[in-house]
Structure 1
Amino acid sequence: MGHIFKEMTRKIKFSKYQGAGNDFILIDNRHGFFDRDDHDAVRKLCDRRFGVGADGLMLLQDTKNFDFEMIYYNADGREGTMCGNGGRCIVAFARDLGIVRDKTAFLAVDGQHDAVITNNRVDLGMIDVFTVRRDGEAYVLNTGSPHYVEFVQALASMNVYQAGFAIRNNEIYREDGINVNFIEKEGHGYFVRTFERGVEDETFACGTGATAAAMAAAIRENLEGDVEIPIRVLGGQLYIAFRKAGDSFTNVRLKGPADFVFTGEV
């Protein structure tokens, strides 16, 4: 891969983690070796044919008053909004670096997050949500990133790329973009598939999307109080918990696996 990154004069060590199939490149940037404005390098690293390959890249950086700061980039190289599965993976990364042990408080683009880690399971605190809009039959809400949630049938056989691309690029959402989630009732929980902006494709999981989908399901089912909803994604199983009062969601938690895959240098 050296010819691709010949403009980079310093070797950069990275680690690869995945959370329910949502995969990320993580870089310990506490010494500032990686230029956070080098969006082209981020895009090349995330490229699955010519780089390491990932849904996104994160820098772990020092910051005041918190254990660390999470800087998140989409696979297209641009800094993104909050990534829930990325947040869980960077907590595991920080634990493996010895920065934290079984709990942490860190800073992300949407503010403070707390987390508890047990082995490879991370329970991540998400932002409160107080506004849910409707777009026809769909629900639109921001769980750290903007999400569109539509209830469907026969989700397993649905062309999520085609349907999600059309919604993400329609006249309403084209300029700012939106993540598009399709959800179907399944046993005691739900099955969710997501087309992610920035990746511009379906991913195996989306943490903020699973959170948004669970909130939409709670509204649809008229649930109130303390709620936990199982959400199955293509890459595994997530659990979303919150306290619901009308369209307000507090004490929001995203729970699931965060696994180390490999490490290397570029």
Structure 2
Amino acid sequence: MRVAFVKMHGLGNDFVVIDRRVGNVPPVDTALARSLADRRTGIGCDQLVVIEGSQAADFRMRIFNPDGGEVEACGNASRAVALLHGEPARIETAGGIIHARPADHGIAVDMGHPRFEWNEIPLAYAMDTYSMPVGWDGLENPIAVNVGNPHVVFFVPDTDSIELDRLGPQIENDPLFPERVNVNVATIVNRHSIRLRVWERGAGLTRACGTGACATAAAAIKRGLVERQVTVALPGGTLAIALGEDSAITMTGPAAEAFRGSFEWGAFA
């Protein structure tokens, strides 16, 4: 059977979106996600996004990394599916229900509240998550935060000088993180601006990571390094992050549709 897809991106973080509510699309599994994500033999993407019906929200969004692993949340993918939806929506994810709506500069997504307790990240054992007493080859004392998925954030003088392609996989797969972790290296430009690079769990170096921008902003605010509204500049572009008085995070940024197509299910499943 042929299945329709939409190719989308948020700041260059690209997705193949399949809507299982349309037609009789079979369930998606790890093997299909890996096959479709392959940039040489598949369609190619950073994440496969599957839209399904939901009893708890307007629809459910499932997110698969190129390694086939399913993850809890993706801020850029949230903006992409919200753009497809075209109006305010409540979106069910494995990390909880989020809210998205059209905004002046793209799509605004209410990402919920950052969580900092060690068992909410989760970590393998209890420790201070605001200045973790750990390090990897010069990257030291990160702050850990869960914004629907787990992140560690390192504040460094120059994010571009960090060998993130080498250190990222080491940190991601360290036994300290039983569910692995996303790795962020950030430089504070001023009280309203952050530069950021992200090693994304299960995907590697990425041009943009919405939850990484949210986690980094929340961590910087928690340490008193920036104000409660900041811009986060990633290699693919800039996101606006705001932390409300109730500590809920709002992320605002662009999303775009690249093209539409279809594929033969049996060739990839």
> How many Å apart are 1:230 and its aligned residue?
0.6
1:167-225 per-position Cα deviation (integer Å, ceiling 9, x unaligned): 1123323x4210000000124301110001111x100111111111001111222667x
Percent identical pairs in the alignment equals 32
- Aligned equivalent of 2:179: 176
SS of residue paired to 2:71: coil
> How many Å apart are 1:82 and its aligned residue?
0.8
**Poorly superposed stretches of 4+, deviation over 4 Å:** none
- Aligned equivalent of 2:243: 242
Which one-letter code corresponds to 1:151 in the other structure? F
Contact 1:26–1:93 under 8 Å retained in 2: no
- The alignment's TM-score, normalised by the length of structure 1, stands at 0.85
| Residues 1:54 and 2:45 aligned together | yes
Alignment of structure 1 residues 1-266 onto 2, 5 Å? 10-31=1-22, 33-95=24-86, 101=87, 103-118=88-103, 121-131=106-116, 133=129, 134-136=131-133, 137-173=141-177, 175-187=178-190, 188-199=192-203, 201-221=204-224, 227-243=228-244, 250-266=247-263
Contact 1:92–1:120 under 8 Å retained in 2: no
5+ residue gaps, structure 2, are 118-128, 134-140, 264-269
Which one-letter code corresponds to 2:61 in the other structure? M
1:24-43 per-position Cα deviation (integer Å, ceiling 9, x unaligned): 11011104633334221111
Which one-letter code corresponds to 1:253 in the other structure? T
Closer, same or farther: CA 37–108 of 1 in aligned 2, 3 Å? same
Once residues 157 and 247 of structure 2 are traced to their aligned partners in structure 1, the CA distance between those partners, rounded to angstroms, is 29
Which one-letter code corresponds to 1:212 in the other structure? A
SS of residue paired to 1:15: strand
- The alignment's TM-score, normalised by the length of structure 2, stands at 0.84
Once residues 24 and 182 of structure 2 are traced to their aligned partners in structure 1, the CA distance between those partners, rounded to angstroms, is 32
5+ residue gaps, structure 1, are 1-9, 96-100
SS of residue paired to 1:12: strand
1:212-266 per-position Cα deviation (integer Å, ceiling 9, x unaligned): 1001111222667xx211100010000111136xxxx622101111111111111
Once residues 169 and 114 of structure 1 are traced to their aligned partners in structure 2, the CA distance between those partners, rounded to angstroms, is 31
Q: How many residues align?
A: 243
Which one-letter code corresponds to 2:171 in the other structure? I
Contact 1:120–1:258 under 8 Å retained in 2: no
Contact 2:96–2:148 under 8 Å retained in 1: no
Which one-letter code corresponds to 1:232 in the other structure? A
Once residues 109 and 79 of structure 2 are traced to their aligned partners in structure 1, the CA distance between those partners, rounded to angstroms, is 6
Closer, same or farther: CA 259–119 of 1 in aligned 2, 3 Å? farther
Bigger CA drift: 230-239 or 77-86? 77-86
